[in-house]
């Protein structure tokens, strides 16, 4: 019994010390502020703080926007690093093709010119369009061969990253037996 009374006296004494030092007031105000924020979030879900994934998406989007401004296009050269811009952009394109990219993300990426016309929602690429694009890249490859004497375009060729990427994809498809 005596132990319990001593514990209660100690709690009261600690409470008075906190109140005297202003800590109790601060703790109560912090709790009230946290409850106000929770109430605002319930009332307006758009005001919720961004998740870690949303912050990461925003960071990569800013890097992509800077790349587009610097290079005048969104053809990011391939980079196998897991946190690279090219990997992130490839993931966004895959999400878009699967119909899983949020509309706001699509709108922002499309404003940078990332999506070809044929990949936009509600419009499937026709065989003729695919053939025309392939022929265009093939002609660019022939011009490369004429100029340099060989058809070995580096995957990260700085003069035309899209040609480097295209030939890299052709090589990959050939290795997989999917090149027509």
79, 100, 119 — which closes off a domain?
119
* 10 close to 1: Cβ distance less than 8 angstroms: no
Output the average pLDDT for the chain: 74
The answer on 93 and 39 residing in a single domain is: no
Q: What is the pLDDT of residue 21?
A: 46
Domain that holds residue 79: 52-119
The answer on 37 and 56 residing in a single domain is: no
Q: Which residues does 74 contact at the CB level (< 8 Å), separation at least 6? A: 64, 67, 68, 89, 112, 113, 114
pLDDT digits (tens, 9 = 90+) for 55-66: 989 999 999 898
180 within a domain of the structure (yes/no): no
The answer on 136 and 89 residing in a single domain is: no
Q: What is the pLDDT of residue 22?
A: 45
pLDDT digits (tens, 9 = 90+) for 122-133: 445 566 777 888
The answer on 115 and 80 residing in a single domain is: yes
The distance of Cα 105 from the centroid of its chain, to the nearest Å, equals 9
**Residue 47's pLDDT band (cuts 50, 70, 90):** very low
């Amino acid at each position: 019994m005596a132990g319990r009374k001593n514990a209660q006296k100690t709690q009261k004494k600690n409470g008075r010390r906190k109140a005297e030092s202003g800590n109790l007031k601060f703790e109560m105000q912090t709790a009230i502020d946290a409850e106000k924020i929770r109430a605002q979030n319930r009332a307006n879900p758009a005001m919720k703080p961004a998740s870690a994934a949303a912050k990461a998406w925003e960071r990569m989007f800013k890097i992509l926007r800077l790349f587009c401004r610097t290079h005048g296009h969104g053809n990011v050269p391939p980079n196998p690093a897991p946190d690279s811009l090219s990997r992130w952009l490839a993931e966004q394109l895959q999400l878009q093709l699967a119909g899983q990219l949020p509309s706001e993300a699509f709108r922002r990426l499309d404003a940078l010119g990332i999506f070809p016309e044929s990949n936009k929602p509600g419009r499937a690429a026709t065989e003729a369009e695919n053939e025309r694009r392939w022929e265009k890249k093939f002609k660019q490859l022939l011009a490369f061969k004429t100029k340099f004497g060989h058809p070995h375009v580096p995957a990260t060729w700085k003069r035309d990253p899209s040609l480097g990427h295209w030939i890299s994809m052709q090589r990959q498809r050939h290795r997989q037996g999917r090149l027509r």
